[in-house]
Amino acid sequence: MARFAPGEAVHVQDRHPAGHLRTPAYCRGKRGVVERICGSFGQPESYGFGGDGKPFQPLYRVRFEQARIWPDYDGPATDTVEIEIFEHWLDPAG
Amino acid sequence: MRQYHDMGGLPAGPIDRHEHESALWEKRVDALLMLLAGRKPPLMRVDELRRGIEQLPPDAYDRLSYYERWISSISAILVEKGVLDQAELEARVAEVRARAEGAG
Amino acid sequence: MADEREHEHDHDHEHGHDHEHGPRAFQPDLEDTVPHSDYQYLEAAVRELLIEKGLLTADEVRAAIEAMDARGPHLGAKVVARAWADPAYRQRLLADGSAACRELGVDMGPTHLVVVENTPAVHNMLVCTLCSCYPRFLLGIPPLWYKSREYRSRTVREPRAVLAEFGTVLPEGVEVRVHDSTADMRYLVLPMRPPGSEGLDEAALADLVTRDSMIGVSLPQSPKQAAAE
């Protein structure tokens, strides 16, 4: 059961563990909005080391305003970037 | 503290748009990974390939070409998982080299 | 990165010339039958040992390469052309990209395809900042530049500058939306149908669709551009 719904604001956790990660550094600590739920998939942190990926996690496409990601973004305020992020990397943004 | 391969947003120069056909050995590397990952259960996963590449030291990451990184990772991961033995791999590499240099 | 394939030609694609993106016959490169670098020795050694251990066969390797060579942007172009010609198909493509591609006979393997549509308001671009994830079953192997440090670093940060390097200038007021292929999804940009293409059949429409327009670094050809080649 996915924790977040499309349209909901989420916050990417600002942590930097070692290991195999698929949450890029540039979006950590940033706030975005869920664009869609992609389904549930195995955790890369586990698969990367031969694990079984469990427990599978809901995967979301999260939309970020570029102006929120880059302090000096040179483009319109409407430009966005969308990134696939696993539920175990997300908190509610409120 | 970002990992070395995690480069989104870092400054970089102009994009070199030159293209060229992959060499046959590169296609073989690609095929190898596809076949290993396609087994049920997989002999190695794409995620392990990526992790092996991410574990390359930064200078190797930069210096090696794309498929050189792949085959470095594939060989290291297969040894790590016990699919191949390090000694037998080294011996075979030496043998392949000797054959190639004899043929050349 | 899992399902990447290479589909490079000896020359540059950027001006969208009318080049057949058809399937390539497998042609062994005689130069490559003798490895001549450390990494080629390593590839040969790994492959030989795996075959000797019964984990792989040479035939499987050969077949995988043939399958890889048969994939290329012509498959994506066929899908885009159908979406342009058939609004109901376009809806299905946007709802479930892989299923819609399979409808046209494309083997999508394990791909979960998300199709993102260009509109007068939004221009989409694809990148994989962490490695080189790409819709390989649909477009073949990604170009070298897609896998480069420069493209991977800059596209999320300064997409408009990257577009400019590809010679792509967007009208005022268009949102640029970059998709970073970080996990299990793969992407295809559905470009806008070029003006002046009304009345073209699907085969002619497919000729307008370049690989780069499906990645989002450029726009499809106009009928005039295609005819000029």
State both tokens at C227.
Answer: 């005819």
Residue numbers in C near B69 (CB within 8 A): none
Query: Which of C98, C132, C213, C218 is labelled catalytic?
Result: C132
Q: Rounded to an integer, what distance in angstroms lies between the CA atom of residue B36 and that of residue C70?
A: 20
B34 falls in which pLDDT band (50, 70, 90)? very high
Contacts by B59-65, CB closer than 8 A, 24 or more apart: B61/B4, B61/B5, B62/C149, B64/C39, B65/C39
Q: How confident is the model at residue A94, as a pLDDT?
A: 74
Q: Has residue C23 got a pLDDT over 70?
A: no
State both tokens at B48.
Answer: 């392990």
Instruction: Please report, for residues C84, C205, C207, C213, the alpha-carbon distance to residue C198 in angstroms, rounded to integers and kept in the order given.
Output: 10, 9, 14, 19
Q: How confident is the model at residue C75, as a pLDDT?
A: 98
What ipTM was estimated for this complex? 0.98
Q: Has residue C78 got a pLDDT over 50?
A: yes
Query: Which of C98, C101, C128, C181 is labelled catalytic?
Result: C128
C25 falls in which pLDDT band (50, 70, 90)? very low
Q: How confident is the model at residue C98, as a pLDDT?
A: 98
State both tokens at C117.
Answer: 């549509």
Q: Has residue C27 got a pLDDT over 90?
A: no
Which residue does chain B place closest to A18, by CA atoms?
B3
What is the mean predicted confidence (pLDDT) over C129-151?
97
Please state the pTM of the whole predicted model.
0.91
Average pLDDT, chain C: 88
**pLDDT tens for each residue of A74-86:** 999 999 999 999 9
Q: Has residue B7 got a pLDDT over 90?
A: yes
Q: Has residue A47 got a pLDDT over 90?
A: yes
Q: Which residues contact A72 (CB under 8 A, 6 or more apart)?
A: none
Q: How confident is the model at residue C220, as a pLDDT?
A: 98
Residue numbers in C near B13 (CB within 8 A): 150
Percent share of chain C, pLDDT over 70: 84
Interface of B with A in 65-84 (CB under 8 A): 81
**pLDDT tens for each residue of C47-75:** 999 999 999 999 999 999 999 999 999 99
Phi, psi values for residue A16, rounded to 5° = -135, 65
Contact A80 C114 (CB under 8 A): no
What is the mean predicted confidence (pLDDT) over C88-107?
98
C172 falls in which pLDDT band (50, 70, 90)? confident
Q: By the CB < 8 Å criterion, does B59 face chain C?
A: no
Residue numbers in C near A83 (CB within 8 A): 179-180, 182
Q: CATH: 3.30.70.100, 3.40.50.150, 1.10.3720.10, 2.30.30.50. Which one for A9-92?
A: 2.30.30.50
Which residue segments constitute the domains of chain B, with CATH numbers given?
Answer: 24-103 (1.10.472.20)
CA distance A76 to chain B (A): 17
Nearest to C182 by CA among A64, B8, B35: B8
Q: Rounded to an integer, what distance in angstroms lies between the CA atom of residue C182 and that of residue A12?
A: 14
Q: How confident is the model at residue C15, as a pLDDT?
A: 37
C33 falls in which pLDDT band (50, 70, 90)? low
Task: Count the helix, strand and coil residues of chain A and give each as a percent rounded to the nearest 5.
Answer: 15, 35, 50
Q: How confident is the model at residue C10, as a pLDDT?
A: 37
Q: Has residue C5 got a pLDDT over 70?
A: no
Q: Which residues contact B41 (CB under 8 A, 6 or more apart)?
A: none
Q: Which helix (H) or strand (E) holds B87?
A: helix B86-103
Higher pLDDT, A45 or C24: A45
- Per-residue three-class SS string for chain C: CCCCCCCCCCCCCCCCCCCCCCCCCCCCCHHHHCCCCHHHHHHHHHHHHHHHCCCCCHHHHHHHHHHHHHCCHHHHHHHHHHHHHCHHHHHHHHHCHHHHHHHCCCCCCCCEEEEEECCCCEEEEEECCCCCCCCHHHHCCCCHHHHCHHHHHHHHHCHHHHHHHCCCCCCCCCEEEEEECCCCEEEEEECCCCCCCCCCCHHHHHHHCCHHHHHCCCCCCCHHHHHCC
CA distance B37 to chain A (A): 12
What is the mean predicted confidence (pLDDT) over A26-36?
98
Q: By the CB < 8 Å criterion, does C179 face chain A?
A: yes
CA distance B50 to chain C (A): 8
What is the mean predicted confidence (pLDDT) over B97-104?
82
Q: How confident is the model at residue C12, as a pLDDT?
A: 39
Q: Has residue B76 got a pLDDT over 90?
A: yes
Would you give the end-to-end CA distance of chain B in angstroms? 47
Q: How confident is the model at residue B103, as a pLDDT?
A: 67
Q: Has residue C13 got a pLDDT over 90?
A: no
Q: Which helix (H) or strand (E) holds A80?
A: strand A80-86
Burial of C68 (0-12, 13-18, 19+ CB in 10 A): buried
The domain segmentation of chain A, as residue ranges, is: 9-92
Which residue does chain A place closest to C156, by CA atoms?
A81
Average pLDDT, chain A: 97
Q: For residue C35, how far is the Cα from the chain centroid? A: 29
Q: Which residues contact C203 (CB under 8 A, 6 or more apart)?
A: C81
